[in-house]
Structure 1
Amino acid sequence: MRTGFCLIALLSAFVVASTKAPSDLSLAVSRNIDISTQLSKYVITINAKNKGNDVSYFIHPIPKEQNHHLSYITASEGKGKKLQVSQVDDSFGNSGYVYYKIEFLSTLKKDSSLEFKVEYVLSEYLKVYPTEITQSESQFTLWEGSSNYVSVYSVESDKTSVKIGNGKVISHTGTKSSDKIQYGPTNNIEPFTSNKISIHYENNAPFIVVTSLERIIEVSHWGNIAIEDHVEIVHKGAKLKGSFSRLDFQVDRRTNSPIVKSLKATLPAQARDIYYRDQIGNISTSMVRAYDNRVEVEMRPRFPLLGGWRTNYIFGYNVPSSEFLYSSGSNFALKVPLIHPLYDNMLIEKAEIKIILPETSHNIKLVKPYSVSQLPDSLHFTYLDIVGRPVITLQKDNLVEYHSQQFTIYYEFSSISMLREPLIVVGALMAIYAVFIVFNRFDFSIVRKDGNIVAHSKTD
């Protein structure tokens, strides 16, 4: 009996030890949360002081109900120096959270301090309430969270600022100042302390979601890269209650309205030959503005988008290959963003990107700035192709503007292969010309040049 009791005590001690915070860090935390659009954006500045043994990493918890909506998470220290972030399976004594390990660039010694930032975005986390509104009403959303930073460490001081915009606030706690609500400062917070709060506020930002994006990037070594997007969009804001009035829409002078009248895409500065069409045909109601570092395209759908309404379109353009393609001998590097911002504070639920390389490209390698799913390579055939063009297919869910980063595809391509298609054309023309010459030498007429008719005798 005594032995069993000792064994239980030993196991209990092991569990406590395994779930203990990994170091004796003490934190001073400042949080900035932006919920003024359809996305929830978190920027957390942490000053960590080490009071114990040397430590090389930090554990950041995210509530499970928020982690389901996580689009990305990054960390940095100093002047934007990126830190490695990875999810860990340990529960640290509280199974209500998902934990992320942030590795420091160098070991944090005892009695030393380090300031770093944690940034992440939640998509489709805000709740539209009420879920239905009339055409003339404003849209309201509900955000739920904690007034303090929940940590596996002790927090000496904590303050939080939540940006909600300039609209009406139905309910909140904390102190409202201009377009923000302030919480704290709060001192001496124990690990895993969470003060639940909710904010119900006016949010007329468009809740536009791209439910499906198929992007095709076709590379040509003849000086052009063609990019085409097939986009399906739905407005996931408060649904329209009642009927839509075109007259009321025309006279609506609200500067902030949940009704979406246009979309604005940001393209590379060298973009040209821009087109925009839907299933019916070309849409002429678009405007292109060229700046030094970008091209902005404002696109107006055939009808405005209200809550629950959908639309789809095809959007494409060309860019010079010198914009994204680099070479050294037979080695090439394609550096291209997998997506570009389709509108402000965009959200893409599902994206599939197909990158079509020139025929005979080989030894292909992909370098990714973030994780994506890569499907088996395939071939694409077009005019004059013999063996087909390699196609790299990538898939990614839950994308925001952060994901419009450059990917690099390295491949080898012989410059002699560029002569393949011209030689095919020349060879085909020569073959046609040769056939014409041969046939021209035969006399298929029934009248000889001397004017006599050619007679065929029949022997009885």
Structure 2
Amino acid sequence: MKITQVLYVLFSLVTATLAFHPFEKHWQNSEYEKSVDVSKSFVKERHDINALNIHGKPQSKYVFGLEKSLEFDTSLLLGLYKDTSGKTAMLKSHKLDIYDDDFVYYNIIFPYPIAPGSYFKFSISLILINQMVPYPEHIPMADDQVLKLTTNAYPSSPYDTLAYTLGFISAADFNELINTELPYSLQRNDLSSSVLYKATEPIPGDSILDFSITYTRTAPLTFVNTLVRDLWVSHWSSSLQLEEYYEVTNNGAKLDKGFSRVDYFNEKLMMKPHHAITALRIPFDQSKTIFTDSLYYVDKVGNVSTSQYYEKELIIRPRFPVFGGWNYNFTIGWNSDLKDFLKRENEDTYVLSTHILDGIRDATYQDITLNIYLPEGAELVDYALPFVSDDIKVSHEYSYLDIEKGHLKLTFNFDNIVDEMKNLELVVRYKYSSFNMIEKPLQAAFYIFLALMGLYVLKKIDLSIKPTKNGKLIKEEDEFEEEKKSNVDEIIDVADE
């Protein structure tokens, strides 16, 4: 029993040591610049780092720390650097399985080992969702919306930093919300379109302190709770039919009292930037051909005429202004030329390339379901995604004139996506032979022929009901004579009476 207790204590000490010192500090940040862009309905952070190898051996891995509170609100984490030709290239990264109360760590893999005493410049780009909070939550309809944002005041790094700057971009009416003194002071400098803070002393690694600001935003926080995106591939019509169903919420400031349409028009709020959703802009890919006569837009009530397609962009105006906390749902659809999306790899193999979404401008997507319907008889070869996703679901679904298994349906699920990621493409490779293409119309023609032949045979069968006597069919002449005799008998009976 005592040995077990001793082992438990030793294990606890080792675990605690790993929690506070998960890795050796082989690097030092000679320069660290963190910029926070709040111009969108989501936060874009950029961390520009100039790292110095202070270890005695070459190093090719750098550990980047992310506040644990942001783990599930991170839409994108991307490492970038400039190669020898001056072009921007990506750095490989993966999450480390290290327990820590404050940080989540990522391993950033450099393209080559960095010698001791040498520097390596790179940047980390982050997209964070659900970071803006209305401040206050309820406001009058005509007032400006104020948002609150909280971020780490110091570098998101386990390594010591010698020179540090923190900048906020596109924050109108900027204001600080600091209740206590900063342990490592930051000197503020107001610029024309940004606010810059500069550290006056080195900052130790793993430093964290919530730094809250407020700013004015005269635009809604468009949040798409659900997007169901269906793509139907048709080789016969050489078209790609797309349909999207949206469930939208405005996460902006709520009204402090009931909505008044009279006050809304008297204040002319529809004529100026406002925190209510009055229009949704959906831009389309300029390189793709869209059949504009196929565009449609409906909601739960029915067709809505307040929409406009102009210069590859669909502008939708809901039936009512969508204020903070209000919801709206609608469906749009259109047809595109399949040649813009599909390439023929060989005689029987095709490659379909499509965007993850087209999407509302300046919006955040919580849950996206992407369904791709391949022609009946198609066979999936493989697929490629721009980022990690759950395993796809392969099934079949019947549509018009489907006879055997139905269309091959591929279902992909994504979450925490923003509209700036809509250019990322999904590639699907599948087999679909010429025989598969003509098999369906031949089968349809065969079954239609059987139906017509069955109808012809049924028309030749006499299904009329005729009288019988003593189990024998009575002919028409016998029936007439029987009826005539019956009539004569009736006349005689009447005469006798």
The two structures have a TM-score, normalised by structure 2, of: 0.81
> Which of 20, 35, 54 matches 2:58?
54
CA distance in 1, matches of 2:191, 2:69: 28
Give how far 1:347 is off: 0.6
Deviations 1:210-231 (A, max 9, x none): 1111111111112011111111
Q: 1:239 aligns with which of 251, 254, 267?
A: 254
Q: Distance in 2 between matches of 1:257 and 1:247?
A: 16
Partners of 1:234 and 1:374 lie apart in 2 by 28
Partners of 1:393 and 1:383 in 2: CA distance? 20
Q: Secondary structure at the match of 1:339?
A: coil
Larger Rg: 2
Deviations 1:89-131 (A, max 9, x none): 224xx53111111111111122222211101111111221111
How many angstroms apart in 2 are the aligned matches of 1:407 and 1:271?
19
2:438 alignment partner, one of 409, 419, 433: 419
| Alpha carbons of structure 1 residues 221 and 22: separation in structure 2 relative to 1, 3 Å | farther
1:367 to 384, 387, 392: 384
1:85 aligned to which of 80, 93, 96: 93
Letter in 1 for 2:435: I
**What's 2:227 paired with?**
213
Q: Secondary structure at the match of 2:161?
A: strand
Where is the helix percentage greater, Structure 1 or Structure 2? 2
1:134 aligns with 2:140: yes
**Aligned counterparts of 2:62 and 2:162: Cα–Cα separation in 1:** 16
2:419 aligned residue (398, 401, 404)? 401
Structure 1: distance between partners of 2:15 and 2:259: 65
Map 1:34-433; keep pairs closer than 5 Å. Answer: 34-52=37-55, 53-78=57-82, 79-91=87-99, 95-167=101-173, 169=175, 171=177, 174-222=188-236, 223-250=238-265, 251-252=267-268, 255-269=272-286, 270-272=289-291, 273-290=294-311, 295-327=312-344, 328-344=346-362, 346-385=363-402, 386-404=404-422, 405-428=424-447, 430-431=449-450
RMSD of Structure 2 on Structure 1 (CA) = 2.9
Conserved 8 A contact 1:155-1:187: no
Q: 1:186 to 1:365 in 2, by over 3 A?
A: farther
Q: What TM-score comes out, normalization by structure 1 length?
A: 0.87
> Is the 1:32–1:162 Cα contact (8 Å) retained in structure 2?
yes
- Post-superposition shift, 1:18? 5.4
Sort the Cα spacing of 1:117 and 1:433 in 2 relative to 1 into closer, same or farther, 3 A: same
Amino acid at match of 1:252: K
Give the length in aligned residue pairs. 438
What SS does the aligned partner of 2:243 have? strand
List alignment gaps of at least 5 residues for structure 2. Answer: 1-5, 179-186, 465-474, 483-497
**Paired letter, 1:236:** N
- Relative to structure 1, the CA distance from residue 170 to residue 18 in structure 2 (aligned partners, 3 Å threshold; closer, same or farther) is closer
SS at match of 2:223: strand
Give the superposition deviation at 1:245: 2.0
For residues 175 and 146 of structure 1, do their structure 2 counterparts lie closer, same or farther at Cα, with a shift above 3 Å needed? Answer: farther
Q: Is the 8 A contact 1:271 1:318 kept in 2?
A: yes
Task: State the alpha-carbon separation in 1 of the partners of residues 319 and 357 from structure 2.
Answer: 24
Deviation at 1:32, TM superposition (A): 1.5
**428-437 or 182-191: bigger deviation:** 428-437
CA contact (8 A) 1:384 1:424 kept: no
Which residue of structure 2 aligns with residue 448 of structure 1? none
- 1:61 is displaced (CA, Å) by 0.6
Distance 1:13 1:201 in 2: 42
Kept after mapping to 2: 8 A contact 1:330/1:414: yes
Structure 1 residues not aligned, in runs of 5+? 446-453
Secondary structure of residue in 2 paired with 1:154? coil
How far, CA to CA, are the matches of 1:444 and 1:67 in structure 2?
A: 75
Identity across aligned pairs (percent)? 23
Aligned counterparts of 2:214 and 2:461: Cα–Cα separation in 1: 90
The Cα shift of 1:186 comes to 4.2
Amino acid of the structure 2 residue aligned with 1:60? F
For 1:23 and 1:182, the matched residues in 2 are separated by: 29
- C-alpha contact 1:347 1:399 (8 A) present in aligned 2: yes
Question: 1:442/1:308 Cα in 2 relative to 1: closer, same or farther (>3 Å)?
Answer: closer
Q: Which amino acid aligns with 1:407?
A: L
2:410 maps to amino acid: I
Deviation at 1:417, TM superposition (A): 1.1
Alpha-carbon deviation of 1:359?
0.8
